[in-house]
Amino acid sequence: MSNNIPLIVDLDHTLIDTDLLYESSIAVLKKSPWLILLYPFWFAKGKGYLKEQLVKRFSIDAQTLPYIQDTIDYIIERKKQGSPIILATASHKDYAFEVVKHFQTRKNNETVVNNKQNLDLFSSTTKTVKGKSTDSSLFDDVMASNADFNLSSHNKAQKLIERFGKKQFDYMGDHMRDLPVWEASNLSILVNVSARVIKNTQHLNTLILSRKN
C-alpha cells in the first residue's frame, strides 16, 4: 500500500505529552523568578519573541521528553507507506531541531534540516544538525516558530497550504487551535483529544487516534 500524502505532525500534546512553552517558562522562572517582570514586554513583541527569550535561557533534553507511543507507532506506519513526515510545531525551532535529532540514528557526521521552501520560518538559511543522518530519520523535515513568526493555528494552516496545497496533506493535532489546520487537511488525525474537539471536527474526515481520559 502506497501513500504519498505528507503527514504533518504537531509536537505539544501530540508527539509529546507536555507543552514546551509551559515547561520552558516554569524552568526559566524557577532559575530566575525576577524574569516574570519581563514577560509582559516579551509577550507584547509576539509569542514567537517570548519563545525566543525562553529558549535562550533553557535547553530541553529531547531524550527525556514524554513521547506518546500511539503517535510514534502511527508515524512509523505512515512512513512505511511512503508518506513524507514533517514535524510542524509552534514550539521554537531550536526545540524542534532537538526533537528531530532524537529520532535520527547515528550514521553520518551532519545533516541539514531545512530547505528553501520554509526558509521564511527560520532566521538563517540552513540549520546543521551534528552527528546524525536524515536517511534514517523518522522526520523528513521540520517547520517551527522563530522570534518573528509563531507557527500556530491560522499561521500554521496558511504555511502548510502555501507549501503543499489545500487538502494535500494529513495533520495530526490535539487542540481546538488546530481546527484551521484540520479544516485545510485531507485527513484530520486526532490525538489526545477532548470531547469538545471531537464534536467540533465531526464535519471533517477524521481518524481518532486517542482521547483524553
- The CATH number linked to 169 is 3.40.50.1000
pLDDT of residue 2: 59
pLDDT: which is higher, 26 or 193: 193
Q: For residue 30, is it within any domain?
A: yes
In Å, how far from its chain's centre is CA 35? 26
In Å, how far from its chain's centre is CA 8? 8
Q: What is the pLDDT of residues 64-104, one digit of tens each?
A: 999 999 999 999 999 999 999 999 999 989 999 999 999 88
Q: For residue 104, is it within any domain?
A: yes
Residues 34 and 125 both lie in one domain = no
pLDDT score of 141 more than 60 = yes
- C-alpha triplet 127, 140, 194: angle, nearest 5°: 105
Q: For residue 125, is it within any domain?
A: yes
How many residues in the chain? Answer: 213
Residues 95 and 28 both lie in one domain = no
Query: Domain count of the chain?
Result: 2
Residues 24 and 91 both lie in one domain = no
pLDDT of residue 117: 39
pLDDT band (50, 70, 90) for residue 1: low
Residues 109 and 85 both lie in one domain = yes
pLDDT of residue 186: 97
pLDDT of residue 147: 83
User: What letter represents residue 50's amino acid?
Assistant: L
Residues 92 and 161 both lie in one domain = yes
Domain that residue 49 falls in:
20-57
Residues 33 and 109 both lie in one domain = no
Query: Using CA atoms, how far apart are residues 82 and 111, in angstroms rounded to an integer?
Result: 21
Residues 75 and 160 both lie in one domain = yes
Residues 43 and 81 both lie in one domain = no
Residues 49 and 82 both lie in one domain = no
Residues 51 and 133 both lie in one domain = no
Residues 153 and 202 both lie in one domain = yes
pTM for the model stands at: 0.81
pLDDT score of 187 more than 80 = yes
CB 142 within 8 A of CB 96: yes
Residues 79 and 161 both lie in one domain = yes
pLDDT score of 129 more than 50 = no
Q: What is the mean pLDDT of the chain?
A: 82
pLDDT score of 134 more than 90 = no
pLDDT of residue 16: 93
pLDDT: which is higher, 169 or 114: 169
